[in-house]
A and B are shown apart, each in its own frame.
Chain A
Amino acid sequence: MNKEYIRSVVVVVCICLVMGLALALCYHITQPRIEANELKKLNEAIRELFPASVGDPIEIALTPDAPKTLKNLYKTADGKGYVAKINTNSGFGQSTFTVGIDAATMKIVGIKCISYGDSVGLDDGYLPSYSGQDKALADVVSSASPAKKTKATIEAAVRDVFTYLENTEFEEVAQ
């Protein structure tokens, strides 16, 4: 009986080790390419949100009290706007968005989806309805898909960015 248990444990542990090694190797090979893809998409989204801005955006160092959903914060080269990269997780899967905010009016210039891992697709009218909104997000389309929980997660993350921008003094990261 004991022998059988030991054998079961050994087999499961061996499978875990072999699959873990295979995954580690695959991660080592694919991660640089995945990061490059993500950076390319981020830069494209930033240029789309602030087409008038010339030069690379300047990254802002996040303070420890930054919201968990805020992954990176950038200021455009001309200082006229902020771009926040947010990660949301509604429980179905992770999604990444970039939010462009006008520095003078503190209104959203636009929001772009970089990756979407939620189970329900984003409706065509949902993200464009963020444009021109302030922190209250009063006129964001509520009837469009995705699911309520997904929308609530995205809206909370965007509000957190506004709160953070209003209450924090930043230092620019040396490029």
Chain B
Amino acid sequence: MIDKRVETVEQALDGLFDGCSIMISGFGGAGLPITLVRALEATSVRNLTLILNSIRFIEYTAPSLFTDKRVAKAICSAARSPGKEPGIYERQIQSGELELELSPQGSFAERLRAGGAGIPAFFTPTAVGTKLAEGKETREFNGQTCVMETGLTADFAILRGQTADRWGNVAFRGLQANFGPAMAMAARTTIVEVTELQEEALPPNGSHIPGIFTNRIIQLPDER
């Protein structure tokens, strides 16, 4: 019997290890798995690679990941804190303690999708001629110069959805989806916190992530 439901955040995050890579969904607070991010903070894992759109929300939710220097690398499209003073991760990036790989947001999304779809790399016109394309292979297609971007995969992905069933099918509300479906495809273990874990199966065309891409589902209240 397929049953991806777990009861506790410890079960949900079982198997995290030092040096692992974790994708974290969320945009503007929608789809951010706040409770699982806090549970990640409560573990002792370190030397992490975080793959996420913006560091800011994670630092706000789980500051000790940065103050205790547990993040070794971030792959993201935004690494800027609010306000004029540099935040902790900005100082760590500047000093070289935290490695930053900045990716245009659309290339970032496609890198996730490609990674999950078994495509190791692709060519895109985005960022050609900019400093984010420096050092990357370029080729011309139909007269247009394109830069090679690599697909992304990870050990874990954590996301937030609205509804799920025991088969791991997940449905979103509003703008919760953002990077979640692509991350679910790209990670070896995908963990989803949802507002409602329902007894009956979601309608076959009523989910946004099919359970084949998810591994653990946990029902958690919306902590925002």
The answer to whether A and B come from one shared complex is no
